[in-house]
A and B are shown apart, each in its own frame.
Chain A
Amino acid sequence: MSITVRSLTKTFGTFTALDGVSLEVEKGELMALLGPSGSGKTTLLRLIAGLEFADAGTILFDGTDTTHLSARERRVGFVFQHYALFRHMTVADNVAFGLSVLPRGRRPDKAAIAARVKELLELVQLGHLAGRYPAQLSGGQRQRVALARALAIEPAVLLLDEPFGALDAQVRKELRRWLRDLHDEIHMTSVFVTHDQEEAMEVADRVVVMNHGRIEQVGTPVEIHDAPASPFVYEFLGHANKLDCRIDGREVAAGGWSAPLARVAPAAADTPAPAGASAAAVAYVRAHELELLPESRAPEAAALAVVRHLTARGGQVRVELSRRPDGAVLEAEVSRAEADALRLTPGTPVAIRPRALRLFAA
């Protein structure tokens, strides 16, 4: 089932949680709502679920208006960050709950419910724990029970609120992969909320980056990674250097370095600042787009820096640099081979030059 959200607005007192958000979730898609706390991602999820109601805007499921339907009528599977399992019921009773509260006419008989519960617990690999109470399970197990419980009502869409937020790193990674596999298996339209960009990128088909109640960017993980749409997305995803620069005609310059716009930022070259009138701008350069050169072979238009710290990561080396003379901290990422060729150690002076950058108005 597809979900369409149109100009949704929601305020809590004087705080605007959502500010005219529109979004299309396609059928069978696994979508991540990514953003810092207070960005409105959880509010958006709860509005889609019918646990909150919007001040303005509409929500459609498969083109049918559900804006004023209660959570009960929307048939959504909702998974809470802190599981919200019924603590006085066994795992099996928790999973059976959604079926056992159906009106008498539509309620399956006891045997059918038991069979369905068994099937769901097998799906989440917890068949052996059916008789346990939630307090007797680990966090990861509880979250999988919560998922089985949500799936029991054969929901139209599955909504997950920071599903791995309360788990530790190891379990988190495992469950992430497991959720991805599960989704590939059942292909249910799913939306999950996270503040962890790595999680969003790894699990989702598409990612929605949110900030201050608005959507900053929607795209596949690759699109978002390769072409962040705004300064916020650059900073939220991390590993990008922010440079205050000036645009002068067809040239861009920052901290002793300068280059023709056409080479480093072709998109911006179409609308150069008028010659003679220089304009301030903000540039973002991703760590792997910052080129390091030996100081001895520094080209005329490069900036100078000193290596402060090196971190090896697989085949890559992350280099923390201090730009001279102002001491601005920059981050670069080079291959092992490059790092060896440059003989990088803390204290090594180098020349730096962005290969590509993205300009935004200051």
Chain B
Amino acid sequence: MAAAGRVGDGPLLRRILIAVAVTGTLVFLLAPIAVIGALALGSGIGAFLDAIAQPETLHAIGLTVLTAVVVVPINVVFGICAAWAIAKFSFPGKRLLLTLIEIPFSVSPIVAGVMYIFLYGAQGLFGPWLQEAGVQVMFTVWAIFLVSLFVTCPFVARELIPLMQAQGSEEEEAALTLGASGFQTFVRVTLPNIKWALLYGAILCNARVMGEFGAVSVVSGNVRGQTNTLPLQVELLYNSYNTVGAFAAASTLAVLALLTLGAKLLLERHGHVGEALDAAPVPSTRLSLAGDRA
């Protein structure tokens, strides 16, 4: 059958679609990043480095990395637990749990921040109780960790659930009958089967944690040099007309994002190599059994 007969496959349409995609990427995505770089470096590399070396900016970078270091592992563990429960067990309320995990996708981060204020703030539900215990949650790094966890909660679980559902439990059952303990089964059978999806989820989670603005800005209190993450610092510098500083901080954030993106690309290539290996055609050495390839 002629390919030209297929809907949406005309040469003209193809060119238009490619042009739209490429132009859109250039105008909406690449241009802003180029501008950030240009403005940050516009007053010379010295000014750029000076701007970065501001103690407050350095602190913001540190806090951002710390947040990622705390939040991503927690999310990885949570994601594995949730995905395992949902993919391999059947229990009442499973669908509800799946929906609940996805709430952060549909809730605006600002709303998330406000919810945490309502819960843990001085006038919040747990406020008096926390005050009595002498624990300050709001406007500290703990609040930043908490909202970041909320916002990125579905990232790892969402990557794992479809994969684990598709893979089923047979390999785990096989490991069990072969005498493996639960831990051995997890480390030697389950984890290798989900590692690419897991890393991919962790990278997405990391990117989101580092870039999160809305929720963090509500709960962090914007204390300079204390609870300002990099995105907040960018805004702060920009609002105080420190253009070079703002763009330098922004470019640092952009670099962090690009590193994440690079890691993701690398992973995808790796993942594809794995898939290619799985699908590799095989010369069958036993002709009599060659007819039954799954």
Provide the residues of chain B in CB contact with A149, threshold 8 Å: 174, 178
Which chain B residues (275-294) contact chain A, with CB distance < 8 Å?
A: 277-280, 282, 284-286, 288-294
Complex Cα distance, B278 from A80, in Å, reads 20
B282 touches A136 (CB 8 A): yes
Give the number of chain A interface residues (Cβ < 8 Å): 46
Q: Which of B189, B278, B286, B290 contacts A135 (CB 8 A)?
A: B278
Q: Verify B291–A153 contact, CB threshold 8 A.
A: no
- Contact of A166 with B178 at beta-carbon distance under 8 Å, contacts A84-B171, A84-B173 already known: no
- Cβ A78 vs Cβ B292 within 8 A: no
* CB of A361 within 8 Å of the partner chain: no
Q: How close is A303's CB to chain B, nearest CB, in angstroms? A: 46
* Chain B residue nearest to A137 in the complex (CB): B282
B184 in the interface (beta carbon within 8 A): yes
Is A360 at the interface (CB under 8 A from chain B)?
A: no
Given contacts A72-B176, A84-B170, A84-B173, contact A171 B292 (CB under 8 A): yes
Which residues on the B side are within 8 Å of A146 (C-beta)? 174
Q: Which 5 A-B pairs have the closest CB atoms?
A: A98-B178, A84-B170, A139-B292, A140-B289, A136-B282
A102–B289 CA distance with the chains assembled, in angstroms = 33
Inter-chain contact A80/B173, CB cutoff 8 Å: yes
| B interface size (C-beta, 8 A) | 31
Is B8 part of the contact surface with A, judged by Cβ < 8 Å? no
Nearest Cβ on chain B to A39's Cβ, whole angstroms: 21
Q: How far is the CA of A171 from the CA of B286 in the complex (A)?
A: 11
Q: Contacting chain B: which of A125-133, A245-253, A313-321, A326-334?
A: A125-133
> Are B292's CB and A135's CB within 8 A?
no
Contacts of B177 in A (CB 8 A): 49-51, 71-72, 74, 76-78, 150
> Inside 8 A of A75's CB, which chain B residues have their CB?
179
Is B180 part of the binding interface, using a Cβ–Cβ cutoff of 8 Å? Answer: yes
Question: Which A residues lie within 8 Å of B134 (CB)?
Answer: none
**By CB atoms of chain A within 10 A, which of B174, B279, B282 has the most?**
B174
Q: Are B170 and A138 in contact (CB under 8 A)?
A: no
Q: Assess the A135–B173 pair: CB atoms within 8 A.
A: no
Residues of A within 8 A of B280 (CB): 135-136
Q: When each residue 127-164 of chain A gets 1 if its CB lies under 8 Å from chain B and 0 otherwise, what string results? A: 01100110111111110001001101100000000000
Would B178 and A51 count as touching, CB distance under 8 A?
A: no
Contact (Cβ within 8 A) B176 A51:
yes
0/1 string, B183-219, CB within 8 A of A gives 1:
0100011001100000000000000000000000000
Q: How far is the CA of A146 from the CA of B170 in the complex (A)?
A: 12
Selected from B192, B277, B285, the residue in CB contact (under 8 A) with A129 is B285
What 1/0 flags go to B162-175 for Cβ under 8 Å of A? Answer: 00000000110111
Complex formed: what's the CA distance from A87 to B163 in Å? 14
B174 contact set on A, CB distance < 8 A: 78, 80, 84-86, 146, 149
Report how far A170 CA is from B290 CA in the complex, Å.
10
Q: Determine if B25 is an interface residue (Cβ-Cβ < 8 Å).
A: no
By a CB distance below 8 angstroms, the chain B residues around A97 are: 175, 178, 180, 188
- Give the residues from 266 to 307 in chain A that come closer than 8 angstroms, CB to CB, to chain B: none
B178's nearest neighbour on chain A, judged by CB, is A98
What B residues does A72 contact at CB under 8 A? 176-177, 179-181
Asked whether A71 lies within 8 Å of B282 as measured between CB atoms, the reply is no
Complex interface residues of chain A between 103 and 121 (CB less than 8 A to chain B) = none
A239 interfacial contact with B, CB 8 Å: no
